[in-house]
Structures are given as C-alpha cells and as structure tokens.
C-alpha cells in the first residue's frame, strides 16, 4: 500500500513571523502522526528558519523550485545542493505557475527532475491541463506529454524517489475542484502511462497526489479514491487549522 503524502505549497506567501508561527503549529499538530508524510514548501528565504523549527519533527521540508545546474553564473537561481544544505528533502518541479507564468517547458522541467535526483533531492513533478485544453478534449494528451517528457531518461529505480502531482490548472486557487471521480480517473490514466513507460511495479508504487483547491471539506472524498495518494495544497496550507485538518484526512486502508 502506498503511504499517504500531504504537501503544503506556501508559494510567495507568509513573511518570517507568520511562517515561524505556522511551522511551530504544524510541528505540534503532527507529533503523533506516523502513518503519512507531511511536507511544507516555504519560499527560499524562509527555508533556513523553518528548517530550524521542523528539524527532527514529523514535517518534511521542501522547496518550490530549483535550477538544474550545480553552480555558476545563473543570477536569481538556486541549486539542489543549496536546498539540501538548508534541510530540504523535496522539491516541487513543473508547478503550473512555473510552466505558465515563467514559461518553463517539458525539456527544462526534465533537466531539473534528473538534476534533483542526481543530487539527492526528491522531486514532486506537477502535471495538469489548462481549462481550454480540458474543454477541447486534450486533457489526456497534455497530461501524457508532461509525464512522458518529465520522466525522460529517469530509470525505473529512480522513480521510487519521485512523486507525481496531478493539478488541473483550472482548479488551482480558483475554488473549483475536480470531482474525486474525475481526479481518480486521470490518476488511473497516469498509472497506465507509468506501466507503459516502466512496468506494473512502478505504476503501482508511485505516489500520485491531487492538487487544486483542496480544502478540509473535500479532502476525505478525494482520499477515499484508490488512485489518489495525497494532496498538494496551496491556499489551505497557509493556516494551521485548515492544513492540520487536511493532514488528518481519513485514509482508507
């Protein structure tokens, strides 16, 4: 059985004081959690201070992005090594805001995925279609391309270090959630792609998160679906009470 995984993406939100307060509340609220992984991804400047708080707790630390080169003249970028040195275990790659606001393409995202793995960071590879792609019946085509290109030249063994997050772009920050049935069927489609690319074991073992307006009110119905292994949460991860409710979702065994 796949271990549940709940991740919070703070995006470009929270200043130092509220980040410290939230991180402390999450460490306290997850003290007794043993059956699922919990991750928070603060903005770059907050990583060291949040690391001091979550270190040794049940909360993992991750970053929201990285560059694939190891070092050099890449103004404004950060490397996997830098992120590891401030306690990151995970990194979100290919988030829809990186794809659509910052024009990152599949080839760049694939370089980042491979570089993260080589340097010991675990990627959360985000995929998902735009509203116009969904409306024109292209959801599967887009998701397939993003999964296949994102995982290009990644070995079957290394897939154990990767999580996929299906995040339909029209559901991110909009209050619109894919129905649990819709999300489950795309997750199942992603498992088919993984079976074709690799084998049944990879397809069955890889964790696939849903993201897009996940809230305390909808987390249980999403987690009830066979192919949904957790959530990548934006807005509702910025408040301790809502994120802790999501973290404590009912998990079907």
Catalytically annotated residue among 149, 167, 181, 217: 167
Nearer to ligand PEP, 202 or 222 (CB): 222
What's the CA gap between 147 and 152, in Å, rounded? 8
User: Which of 15, 173, 192, 200 forms a contact with ligand PEP (CB under 6 A)?
Assistant: 173
Where in 48-67 is the site for ligand PEP (CB under 6 A)? none
Tell which one of 232, 246, 247, 249 touches ligand PEP (CB under 6 A): 232
Among 37, 133, 167, 184, binds ligand PEP (CB under 6 A): 167
Considering only 19, 139, 234, 246, the residue that binds ligand PEP (CB under 6 A) is 234
Measured between alpha carbons, how far is 134 from 222 in angstroms, rounded to an integer? Answer: 20
Of 95, 97, 133, 187, the active-site residue reads: 95
Question: Is 242 a binder of ligand PEP (CB under 6 A)?
Answer: no
Stretch 192-221: interaction string toward ligand PEP, x if CB under 6 A: -------------------xxxx-------
- How far apart CA 190 and CA 82 sit, in angstroms, is 32
Q: Is 37 in the site for ligand PEP (CB under 6 A)?
A: no
Strands of the chain, DSSP E: 4-9, 36-41, 59-63, 90-93, 122-127, 163-166, 208-211, 230-233
- Bridge partners for 230 per DSSP: 5, 209
Residue of minimal CB distance from ligand PEP?
A: 234
Q: Which is nearer to ligand PEP, 119 or 180 (CB)?
A: 180
The residue to which tokens 């074991």 are assigned: 201
DSSP-assigned letter for residue 45: G
Nearest alpha carbon to residue 234 among 96, 108, 45 = 96
Q: How far is the CB of 74 from ligand PEP (least distance, A)?
A: 24
CB of 142 within 8 A of CB of 132? Answer: no
Spell out the residues 6+ positions from residue 68 whose beta carbon is closer than 8 angstroms to its own. 108, 111, 112, 114, 115, 116
One of 233, 244, 246, 247 touching ligand PEP (CB under 6 A): 233
- 9: contact with ligand PEP by CB under 6 A: yes
The CB-of-69 to ligand PEP minimum distance in angstroms stands at: 25
Spatial distance between the Cα atoms of 33 and 135, rounded to a whole number of angstroms: 40
The reply to whether 172 sits near ligand PEP by the rule CB under 6 A is: yes
Give me the residues paired with residue 127 across strands.
Answer: 166
Question: Known catalytic residue: 95?
Answer: yes
Residues belonging to the active site: 95, 167
Q: Which residues bind ligand PEP (CB under 6 A)?
A: 9, 11, 167, 172-173, 211-214, 232-236
């Amino acid at each position: 059985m796949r271990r549940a995984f709940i991740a919070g993406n703070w995006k470009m939100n929270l200043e130092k004081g509220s980040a410290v307060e939230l991180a402390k509340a999450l460490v306290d609220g997850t003290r007794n959690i043993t059956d699922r992984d919990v991750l928070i991804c603060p903005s770059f400047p907050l990583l060291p201070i949040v690391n001091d708080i979550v270190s040794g707790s049940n909360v993992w630390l991750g970053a929201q992005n990285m560059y694939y080169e190891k070092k050099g003249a890449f103004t404004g970028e950060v490397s996997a090594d830098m992120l590891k040195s401030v306690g990151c275990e995970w990194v979100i790659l290919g988030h829809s805001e990186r794809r659509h606001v910052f024009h990152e393409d599949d080839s760049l995202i694939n370089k980042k995925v491979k570089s993260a793995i080589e340097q010991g960071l675990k990627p959360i590879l985000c995929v998902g279609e735009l509203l116009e792609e969904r409306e024109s019946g292209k959801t599967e085509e887009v998701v397939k391309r993003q999964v296949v290109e994102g995982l290009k030249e990644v070995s079957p063994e290394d897939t154990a270090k990767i999580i996929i997050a299906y995040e339909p772009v029209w559901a991110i920050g909009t209050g619109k959630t894919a129905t649990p049935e819709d999300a489950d069927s795309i997750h199942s489609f992603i498992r088919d792609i993984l079976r074709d690319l690799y084998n049944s074991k990879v397809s069955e073992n890889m964790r696939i998160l849903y993201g897009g307006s996940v809230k305390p009110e909808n987390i249980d119905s999403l987690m009830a679906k066979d192919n949904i292994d957790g959530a990548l949460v934006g807005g509702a991860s910025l408040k301790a009470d809502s994120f802790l409710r999501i973290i404590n979702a009912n998990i079907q065994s």
